[in-house]
Structure 1
């Protein structure tokens, strides 16, 4: 589970803020939160993803006070969600370039194994929501990306913490010519990470979930 936990952190959580090195353009296209490979991630799509997480958080807690705490704990949710949406596409492109594919069967096998470890489907959904801000309806998509990251690292003869892996993501970022709406920051192609224009950001998402080890 060590590699799986590391990969989950990679593809779903905010990555530590990087210095502002590269801004891919001055303005994103109108109505877009980001443009990745010529395809728009619209503000509406971003808001829908944030709403999914908020709805899941609301359903998971007993009262308004607990929900308020969950919201406060994820105060940068919009920006970290956009970070994840862009990074997902970067990772998928890097995997494609390396000839890496993931089957539906592999995703289901991974999910089944995780469910056994944490105590069932609901426990897994709760863990991914709390640790990685992944709504239940996005869980399979997230696991697919985790597997892509794991298999990409293996194809490169490395792991997701090594420079060789991040170099592949950096190359994919450059090919995709990522352009963020300035309200959400900029994209650092060298770090494959979002950076704020004025204030660096960092959110503590390193705690291991149930059945996982640091």
Structure 2
């Protein structure tokens, strides 16, 4: 994971053709995340996993609901929403998952993410009862992710909106061993390179569904960076 630069994120509640799925899985991206906010079901997750498994690509389930936890993924990412006003999204759901599944958990496959949702118009922002942090809040959360919680990943999630590259740079300066993931609004090569200048890994999601050709180009753009 330390060598990753690019990840595609697929929403199990959205339609993707076999042709476009093949383009994603054969693009040279480092991994594919399966995850979303609305209408994420076990059937949807399993169906998408089976389709992805036709290809030799690392596949990750980002857990947003316990009802859609499925076996067969290479890794499981568990978000801890640091700017949520509800303890549920920072600790309670994670506690319940460990209480219920810890005997089955392989800790070589499970990674907790310090999540910061930075688009107040995003469904995930409302769903997790988050507040809009200022730049100082965000850098402090990044510092906490590494030095307080010792999390392997800090994820700046702009959810379809292109974020602030200067803030990405500031956040990166707070991190040494924790990886900085960025997701949100990357639609072209220029944006991919601008964010990758500071983020360890960029995640491209919505672009898959709006302009697949441009989305695929972001892989080569950051791999050659």
TM-score (norm 2): 0.24
Question: Which has the larger helix fraction?
Answer: 1
Question: Which has the larger strand fraction?
Answer: 2
TM-score (norm 1): 0.24
Task: Select the structure with the greater relative contact order (CA < 8 A; seq sep ≥ 6).
Answer: 1
